[in-house]
Structure 1
Amino acid sequence: MIIVTGAAGFIGSNIVAGLNARGERDILIVDDMSDGQKCLNLADLDFSDYLEYDDLIARIEAGDNLGDIRAVFHQGACSDTTEWDGRYVMARNYRYSKSLHDWCVARAIPFIYASSASVYGMGPDFVEKRQAERPLNMYAFSKFAFDQYVRAQSATTKSQVAGLRYFNVYGPREQHKGKMASVAWHFSRQIEADDECRLFEGAEGFGDGEQRRDFVYVGDCVDVNLWLLDSGVSGIFNCGTGRSQTFNDVADAVIAWYGRGEKRYIEFPQSLVGRYQSFTQANIDALRAAGYGPAFATVGEGVARYLDWLADRGEADKHAGQAE
């Protein structure tokens, strides 16, 4: 059996889909289903069992036998970057991850987990080195703290432990995220509704819509996760394309797919001045050195795949009225 936590979420459900594509069906899916809309991410997928997020950790800490576990993909977390209840965030993201890590290591079970590029704060360096890490909120700090724990344990850890610092991920199965969904999702909805993509005006040295991010297609993130499982490689790695592209590039890709629409620039919020990531770009040298070779999709390629997927499932119309 393979365990996937956060299985009803964005990246977790795509990992389940990736495992299914390999013929894997013996999957224990774990999530907090308080938001029942997330069940739609699993409706077309196959799995063998389900546990609530809190139930899994209770069973692990009680020493229960969960059977023959081949690997754990730990994607579940409190991902709200505006949550400042530090005790809650650390309990969900740090203590939970630590308990699951220790349980896997004690049983030599491969443990592949989600870290985050948010550990780098405002940058400007995005490389897996301590001096580049400056978390700016509780979510980022919780991810940073667990990475620190993994590093401290690595010298004595015999089994595989690998963390992926996801950059700006976009793609299928993110519709439940609302405001936290990718700009590709929001631009698609805006074209559907108003025939326009709304982007920020220039600020902090960047022109209109020229802020840059490392936008990575979720299918590529799944491929990296599955490669880690196959390779047995351990370490903490950036999971991005290694290049930055502009928000204009994303809007242009959405407009090109629809064959209609235009861009409109809106005032840059004063509340974000000095607190907005205007540039991210993953350094993927460590991932390449570990042996990962496949190319990552460009924004044009990834957005086209994404919108094809939405069109095939009618998602653009189905969720057009969802609150932003």
Structure 2
Amino acid sequence: MYIVTGGAGFIGSNIVHGLNARGITDILVVDDLTDGRKCLNLADAHIRDYADKDDFLRRVQAGEDFGRVEAVFHEGACSSTTEWDGRFVMAVNYEYTKALFGWCVERGIPFLYASSASVYGMGPTFREAREFERPLNMYAYSKFLFDCHLRPLLPNTRSQVAGLRYFNVYGPREQHKGSMASVAYHFKNQLDESGRLRLFEGSDGYGPGEQRRDFIHVDDVVAVNLWLLDNPQVSGIFNVGTGRAQSFNEVARAAIKWHKGGGIDYVAFPEHLKGRYQSYTQADMDALRAAGYASEFMPVEVGVPKYLDWLAQNLG
């Protein structure tokens, strides 16, 4: 059996589909379906069972045996960067991850979990080292703190443990995220509605729409997860981006080209984001490459049209 927490969410459901593509269907999905729209991410997937996240945690804390578990992909979290209820975020993200980590280590089960590039705050260096980490919100802090908890334990942990610091992920099955969905998703909607895309004016020394992020297609994220599954000797904390910063203008141009027309409007940079907005992110990929991951990552010129094709075929 494979366990995927957050398995009805964006990255989790894509991991489920990635396992299915390998012929694996013995999957326990763990999630919170209070937002029932997330079930649509699994409507075309094959899984063995589902467990509510709170029920699953109780079973883990009770030391329950789920039979032979090949690996745990821990993608579940409160991912809202605007949630300031610290007790809630720490319970759902930090304490939950600690409990599941301990359960896996005790049984020698590979534990692959979602960390976040948000731990780096404003950057400008995005390398997996403490001196470059300065989280700016509760979500980032909860991810950062578990990474700190893990580091001294890794040398004496015999089973595989890998934390993946995802950068700006976009792709299929994120539509339930609403305002938190990627710019590529919002660009598709804006083009359909008005034929015009809205980008921020210049900030932090960048021209209009020239703020840059490391945009990574979710298929590449899944590929990294499955590569780690195939290489249980690899443990550590790894950035998962493309290693290349691309501008919002580049994403916009890729969307407009796919749409066969459209334009860009630059809107005033919001006051409340000044000083708290990442105008630049670029993953340092040396650690993952040194661990042996050799596959290439899609630039936005490839990944965005691929995603927009999926949206057109599946969501109209």
- TM-score higher than 0.5: yes
* 1:92 match: 92
* Per-residue Cα deviation, 1:153-204 (whole angstroms, up to 9, x for no partner): 1122110000100000000000000000000000110000000110001122
Cα separation, 1, equivalents of 2:192 and 2:71:
41
TM-score by length of 1: 0.96
Deviation at 1:312, TM superposition (A): 1.8
Corresponding letter in the other structure for 2:217? Y
Q: Could you tell me how far apart the structure 2 residues matched to 1:172 and 1:43 are? A: 13
**1:247 aligned partner:** 248
Higher mean C-alpha deviation, range 151-160 or range 172-181 = 151-160
Instruction: Kindly report which structure 2 residues correspond to 1:278-289, keeping only aligned pairs within 5 A, or say none.
Output: 278-289=279-290
Task: Report the equivalent of 1:135.
Answer: 135
Q: How far apart, CA to CA, are the structure 1 residues paired with 2:202 and 2:133?
A: 27
Show the counterpart of 1:157.
157
**Pairing 1:71–2:34 present:** no
Counterparts of 1:83 and 1:162 in 2: how far apart (Å)? 26
**1:236 aligns to what SS in structure 2?**
strand
**Amino acid of the structure 2 residue aligned with 1:127:** R
Q: CA deviation at 1:242?
A: 0.2
Output aligned runs, 1:27-42, within 5 Å: 27-42=27-42
Measured on the aligned residues, the alpha-carbon RMSD in Å equals 0.6
Partner residue in 1 for 2:261: 260
Mapping of 1:289-308 within 5 angstroms?
A: 289-308=290-309
Counterpart amino acid of residue 52 in structure 2:
E
Amino acid at match of 1:280: T
1:108 counterpart residue number: 108
* Secondary structure, counterpart of 1:152 in structure 2: coil
Number of residue pairs aligned between Structure 1 and Structure 2: 315
Q: Percent identity at matched positions?
A: 65
Q: Which runs of 5+ in 2 are unaligned?
A: none
User: Which residue in the other structure is 2:196 paired with?
Assistant: 196
Amino acid in structure 2 at the alignment position of 1:236 = I
Counterpart Cα distance in 2 of 1:64 and 1:14 = 27
The normalised TM-score by structure 2 is 0.99
Q: Which runs of 5+ in 1 are unaligned?
A: 318-324
**Cα distance in 2 between the residues matched to 1:55 and 1:67:** 17
User: What residue in structure 1 maps to residue 170 of structure 2?
Assistant: 170
Q: CA–CA distance in 2 between the matches of 1:84 and 1:132?
A: 23
SS of residue in 2 equivalent to 1:143: helix
Give matches, 1:37-52, under 5 Å. 37-52=37-52
- What CA distance in whole angstroms lies between the structure 1 residues aligned with 2:93 and 2:202? 35
